[in-house]
A and B are shown apart, each in its own frame.
Chain A
Amino acid sequence: MLRQLRRREVGADNPRSLSTHVRGERVRQINLSGHKEVVSAHHSGINSLQVDCTEARYLLAGAADGSVGVYDTQQPTFVDSALHVAKHEALFTVDKSVHLGHIFSVSSVQWYPVDTGLFVTGSYDKNINLWDTNTHQVELQFKMPGKVYAIAMSAMATTHMLVAAGTEDVRVRLCDLATGACTHTLSGHRDGVWALQWSASSEWILYSGGCDGAIRFWDIRRAGCFQVLDHNRSQIEKRPSVTNSASQRQEMATATMGSSSKVGSQQREAKRAKLSKGSLALKNARAKESAVQRQHPGMMSANDRSTAHNGSVTALQTSDDGLHLFSAGTDSRVRLWDIESGCNTLVNYEATRIRAHQGTQLAVSMDSSLLFVASAHSVQTYDIWSGRMHSKLVGHYDNVNCCAFLPEDQELYTGSSDRQILVWSPPKALPIDDEEEVEEEGLKTGGTTVTADEDAWSD
């Protein structure tokens, strides 16, 4: 650590590498936080969590009792002196008592990406609500044909303000917050849609995962989906055929020959003819290829029916750089996809147990080194590229439904059906004497019989 600081000082290292290294180290030490607690204000399980995109400070939580709470992750409400734990209580909650509030379970929550003045919630009562954070009132309500499982807004959209909604219905709907109307219906799935994710690199690209096990890529400027992920496709299929490649090589050779040496014009003519013939063939092939590509993939039944998971897709998450997509399914699999090619990278994330009855959430640490997967009653962390399990975060007593990662503090927030929101953080480095003092204080002030955590062999 000190050496690295020195190297940073003299400029031997990239300034970012140090911070990346430190962050990575901290993320790897993540565990149940001893100094921070979120006091859940909900009466039933937490279904969805999100940290706002602007400040990375406010945590939005949607619960199964139809309530939505906002928590401040930086400023604790009070500090429990006996336990010396900072408690974070909800800044406010909205529930069914509010006019137009959700009466059934809130399945998905989403901050407005531009600021924290608005947030969107989707619920099993078939409504999508747009809330004003300051007045705690519903500003806008979209009626959906079925239970809303997932909603998503693009974090990088500059030209549109669309909320993608995945519902019981097979069609994905895009609702425009500006007009308050539904602008698109994207049809292609054969069952309800549980997971939605906007691309991290393009504001027009939307990924959706449904109960039919398919993950579809949509370009909202065009009709239909342009990619259906297939878990069997692990390498680029469209390898040029042997003949084609041979002619190409020939062509290349002639080209170089032509360029390098001056040959007779007749010869050249003949060769040109030959070349043109070859190029024609190539062109034909290309045209055919492009025609295949241009053709609506939804029409190609073989491609259209391919699935990404043997079961419902429960979660989708892009990596930070937008090049990779993680998906989790009820087949207890987590898959890593290369977005550009649409190939399965075949990274095996071992021993996941996904028991979801609804959409869940995955979380990726900032430098895309660790993946957090809610797996039954625990959260498992994986090394992204090797798929090896790094640690298992145990602390929930019921199924974990969602997780949100706070990159600045390297903290993970998880919500579970046991209605707890747990904070997982790197261990806090406290000066030793200070800690003792605090402990003594705690013992004195608490007045309770808190025994020190030491061996106590009376006999």
Chain B
Amino acid sequence: MKKIDKIISPAEVLETETNTHTHTQSAAMEGGDGGSERARRRLMDLIEEATVSPAKSLDLGLLQSIKAMVRSSDAHVHTAFDALFDKLKKNHSQVRFLAVLLIDELFTRSKLFRSLLVPKFEMFMLLTIGYRDDYPLPKPPDRATLLRTTSMELVEKWNDSFGVHYKQVRLGYEYLKKTLRLQFPNLRAAAALAEQQRQEKEARTQALIRKKYESLCQDFSELRVEIQSTLNEIAECCKILEPEIVSAPEAEGNELVSEAGLESLVFGEDDDYEEYGDSSLRRQLHEEVSEELSVPEKPKETTDNSAVFESLRDLYKLVASSHLRTTQEWLSILMRVDTSDTRPRDALLKEVIDLRTQLLGSLGKCESLGIDPTERASTSRTAIDEVDDEDIIWEAGDAETDKDLVDTTSTSHPINIENDSKMSAPRNMDPASSSAIIPSEVSKKKVETGPRADLLEMAPVLPYGSFLDNWGSKSDVPANQRGLEMENHWGRVDTEAMIPVERIAEMNFRSSFYKPPEKEITPCRAPLKKGGLCPRRDLRRCPLHGPIIPRDENGNPLQTPEIDVPESKPAEKELLEVSMGGLHSASSSSMGAPSSISEAELAMQAIANVRERDEAEARKKRDERVTAKRKQSKRDREHNDIVLRAAALSQSHQGFQSSFGEEFDDNSKTGGGKKKARGGLTALLKKTPTAKERIAQRLLNSRVRDNAVNELARVEEARHRDAAANNWS
């Protein structure tokens, strides 16, 4: 109920819920026609609402309220059934799919609903599974397949649970399965199989554990003795080393310490503080103090006690690697085993737990004595002098490297770490990838500053290989590394032969090839009709969906595509190149001049300049064209006037000749009458065009109109095409 749908806000859901509750209640109370009718309509609305969402599941709030309503009365069951069956007949798979989900909810709950659906079961299957070719499932196809699989699962489920009571369901299922041979998911059988397999596995592991448990019971005493002896040895070693750090009383208290671990060790060391203060404060204080004190108080390893340290280290390693692990295993065995007699098991468990705490305590003590857990894996041949230099450098990173101890090489070959980091350093220039892959290296990078970082930046990236074993070693390497005695039939072999450093370097000479950085080609991601996004990967332009533009997860373009962008871009680029070239030449010519403005900015400026110039030119041209046109039209008009005048004159001359004879001719020739006659004549001309002219005029008009209409239509179409380019349905 608390789930929030994307479409319906929670407040709305709550509202609908409360509404429905009041509705149902009122309907129940009134029992009148009006109330029930209202409730009925309400239910229909709810179902309508529940089946229009694009989600792949029902809205829980709506479902809840529908269930509550349907439950309240039988009439509502009928209403819901009718409404849902109507929904099933809708020509859209998504609506059908949601209706099917809703039907399942009601079918599993209401007997009346079942009895209503079962007589129409064939229709139901036809509409949801679409097993007949003449009744295919409607669009969209992805939802259709979803609908099909879901409803097949449901039919199977219903058959399992209700097939006994409703033969129609059983028959339908059998028809689909045996006659049409549809592949059912067969959930029940699959679940049974999985359960069986699980049980078998369980039995097998249980048997194994029991066997282990039995062997443990037998061997426990021996092993305990062994571990105990190790513990004792550690305690001895500690006792030897303790006196060097702390005074005598603390050394006595070490028996306790060995069991209680680091914390209590701190307590034991700082007995003096025990008199005052409340405990929590004191503990805080202790921790602070111990942090300060423990480092300087570490016993220095000297030539005298180096043997002790060595043995302690060995013991530590033994405990950490084998004893702790074995106790852990025993614990898990004892915990998981189920024997009929639990008493010996419990006793054993207790002992193992005790042993484990002791081991942990001794480990803690060792650590407090300065035996670093990072050295767990370090081999004894690591010389002490060799270690200290590197260790100081890598102190900060140790915490992280501790975690991924699996990478043992990093600790055993400190040089390699350096090398690794060298490799990683250039990679770090791409912060996203490196931080995602190796978080620890980022922290390392923070540490590195100064010339080292610069060097790292310059360092090449090398692939991993065996040549890294001797990376950076400045010593000669014996030719016969293994120390085997070899006979060679070519002659005597110099077993002492050394390969000089230069030779080794020469042999390790590596060539690398330039690899262009891999650039990920982004997919087109335009929405497809059948749902989903276009997966095509093209560089600039998808042949199906046009230029590749950034889109959100639904495939809608993030900004409205500008049509002129792709056209202008290449030109701009050219310009850019040209200007860049120019700039280069300019910069080459004036090398000394410090360029405060970046090249790109300059380029942009250049482009703007060029554009301005272009625009100005274009404007000028346009003006010229306009003036030329005006001139032309003026000329035309003049010419027309002349022609018309001539025609009018000739016509009127002919017309008037009959009536006026030579008089008019004379009049027309006179300058004063000329103007007057002209105005009157043109008016006359305009008023009485001949039939031929009229027809011509009309034809011209119609042609012009047609052209205009066509033009309008074309413009309209183009606009529509632009607007609807990304319209998806």
Contact = CB atoms under 8 A, between A and B. Distances in A.
B110 interface: yes
Interface string A27-51: 0000010100000000000000000
Interface string B646-660: 000000000000000
Interface in A294-335: none
Contacts of B90: none
Nearest to B161: A451
A459 B168 contact: no
A450 B161 contact: yes
Contact of B168 (A395, A398, A451, A453): A395
Interface in A418-459: 418-420, 422, 442, 448-451, 453-459
Given A395-B168, A449-B161, A450-B164, A456 B122 contact: no
Interface in B168-188: 168, 171-172, 174-175, 178-179
B164 A394 contact: no
B71 interface: yes
A448 B112 CA distance: 24
A377 interface: yes
A456 B179 CA distance: 32
A394 B114 contact: no
A422 B164 contact: no
What is the interface of chain B mostly: helix, strand, loop, or mixed?
helix
Nearest to A419: B179
Given A451-B162, A455-B111, A456-B109, A397 B122 contact: yes
Contacts of B175: 397-398, 418, 420
A435 to B, nearest CB: 12
A82 interface: yes
B122 A394 contact: yes
A414 to B, nearest CB: 12
A83 interface: yes
A449 B160 contact: yes
Contacts of A83: 163-164
Interface in B133-191: 160-168, 171-172, 174-175, 178-179
Interface string B395-415: 000000000000000000000
Interface in A387-409: 394-398
B171 A457 contact: no
B108 interface: yes
A455 B109 contact: yes
B532 interface: no
Given A419-B179, A456-B108, A458-B109, A34 B167 contact: yes
A419 B178 CA distance: 9
Nearest to B126: A397
A397 B179 CA distance: 10
Contacts of A396: 171
B64 interface: yes
B354 to A, nearest CB: 47
B40 interface: no
Contact of B167 (A395, A448, A450): A395
A197 to B, nearest CB: 31
A295 B161 CA distance: 69
A420 B171 contact: yes
A395 B166 CA distance: 11
B172 to A, nearest CB: 6
Interface in B59-73: 64, 67, 71
B31 interface: no
B119 interface: yes
A394 B110 contact: no
A150 B162 CA distance: 41
A453 B111 contact: yes
B179 A395 contact: no
A90 to B, nearest CB: 16
Given A34-B167, A397-B172, A459 B161 contact: no
Contacts of B110: 455, 457
Nearest to A32: B167
B64 A459 contact: yes
A135 to B, nearest CB: 31
B171 A395 contact: yes
Interface string B570-610: 00000000000000000000000000000000000000000
Nearest 5 pairs between A and B by C-beta? A453-B165, A397-B175, A451-B161, A455-B111, A418-B175
Interface of B: 64, 67, 71, 108-112, 114, 119, 122, 125, 160-168, 171-172, 174-175, 178-179
11 contacts: A83-B164, A377-B122, A395-B171, A397-B171, A397-B175, A398-B175, A453-B165, A453-B166, A456-B108, A458-B109, A459-B64
